Structure 1
């Protein structure tokens, strides 16, 4: 029986470290002078943008994530306690940090993870909510080959994960084959499991899975991507 593993990309295969480093470079001293952690500010900016992006999507007003991300910058400064956000930072500085999102790098072990799975008979796919060309660029920059035919983006269909319709087309296209979904976001894998995928969760990003929130158990859990691949292979035997 053919076997498939679908990976989330940003946060799972790709680290946010380059984005956090850009915040440190552009705004770090100013944020620290206000007793604000640059990394925590970046996390708040990312997560709030994800929320607004999802809310727009589920209310049939989908916009590209990059558009939402840029628009949220000054609001997050305000919410962080900066009383005059547009005097604290400039559009050019915001745009420099937004541009850094396109320079994110693959996590250690991605190529090994793909190789392990492919050698064991799995077809590897990706499903992202991000812009297809930007996200594919992460693989190109790392010189990791990935088939464009096995890459899917919700962005083109106007549906954001974790809406179940974001997962269902790829799930159904596999027919009766063995189907896994793998991510470093518990919310992501748990939604894919509701659709019918087997679930593999890697704690490399979130550390704490908070699985009590989701009422869904994983088929595989691991701390690193290669370890997750090995456990998927073992569970499939």
Structure 2
């Protein structure tokens, strides 16, 4: 059995929340410390996202998305996959294949990821 993974890549920023909101939140919370050091909050956000993309662990990570093509693509490169129909409304498994977890809402998707990870 593979090691239990506590890692989930949520494809939320850029899909359910714009990047602008992430950068604004970083500026609001950390800008007063970053800017005097010559670091723009947007730069920190971009670096953070890039590192999240390349981070790895010993176990097989999860990729959770609200766009079916994103989840399907992640599956093709080795991720466990979770898909929420919250945006697109339907799951087209005959086109995109079978995913590990499919749910109607993000909280239900998270619960199902936990259950699937323990099997």
Mapped contact 2:60–2:78 kept (Cα < 8 A): no
TM-score (norm 1): 0.35
Of 109, 114, 119, the match for 1:228:
109
Following superposition of structure 1 onto structure 2, how do residues 169-208 of structure 1 map, counting pairs within 5 Å? 170=54, 173-208=55-90
**Distance in 2 between the 1:218 and 1:2 partners?**
17
The alpha-carbon deviation at position 137 of structure 1 amounts to 3.3
Provide Cα deviations, 1:40-95, integer angstroms capped at 9, x if missing partner. Answer: xxxxxxxxxxxxxxxxxxxxxxxxxxxxxxxxxxxxxxxxxxxxxxxxxxxxxxxx
Q: Mark the CA change 1:235 to 1:217 in structure 2 (over 3 Å): closer, same or farther.
A: same
Q: 2:99 pairs with 202, 207, 218, which one?
A: 218
What secondary structure is seen at the aligned counterpart in 2 of 1:151?
helix
Distance 1:213 1:178 in 2: 24
Q: 2:22 aligns with which of 103, 127, 136?
A: 136
**SS at structure 1 position matched to 2:108:** helix
Partner Cα distance (1:183, 1:226) in 2:
12
Match of 1:3 in 2: 6
Q: CA offset at residue 210 of structure 1?
A: 2.0
Task: Measure, in 1, the Cα distance between the counterparts of 2:10 and 2:95.
Answer: 22
Aligned pair count reads: 96
Task: Structure 1 unaligned segments of length 5 or more: list them.
Answer: 15-103, 105-131, 154-168
**Are positions 1:152 and 2:34 aligned together?**
no
Cα separation, 1, equivalents of 2:107 and 2:74: 21
Q: CA deviation at 1:7?
A: 1.1
Assess if the C-alpha contact under 8 Å between 1:8 and 1:182 holds in 2. Answer: yes
Q: 1:113-124 alignment to 2 at 5 Å?
A: none
SS class of match (2:61): strand
Gaps of 5+ in 2: 29-43
- Aligned pairs (5 A) from 1:69-108: none
The CA RMSD measured in Å over matched residues stands at 2.9
Q: Deviations over 1:84-135 (max 9, x none)?
A: xxxxxxxxxxxxxxxxxxxx5xxxxxxxxxxxxxxxxxxxxxxxxxxx5x25
Deviation at 1:178, TM superposition (A): 3.2
Change (3 A) 1:5 1:150: farther
Decide which structure has the larger Cα Rg and report it: 1
